[in-house]
Amino acid sequence: MVRPLVATRLLQNPLGMPAEPGTRGDMVRVSDGRASVYLLPHEYDAADERKLRWLLAKASVPVS
């Protein structure tokens, strides 16, 4: 089952607060419910779903 991706645009100040609707924000948190990655707005805009899912899979692998 493919989990839906949720993108939330955030502000750096105050840290982690959601950006106003319609604004780019300072960073974008993308989550699939198991892992989250943080991207700059231009990185998020340039990424397709495949790239986002790859980043999330990489983030959810435990490092030993």
Tens of pLDDT along the chain (64 residues) come to 788 999 999 999 988 899 999 999 999 999 999 999 999 999 999 999 999 999 999 998 776 6
Which are the contacts of 23, defined by CB distance < 8 A and separation ≥ 6? 9
pTM score of the predicted model: 0.86
pLDDT of residue 63: 62
User: Pick from 36, 61, 26: which is nearest to 9 by CA?
Assistant: 26
Q: What is the pLDDT of residue 61?
A: 76
pLDDT at 26: 96
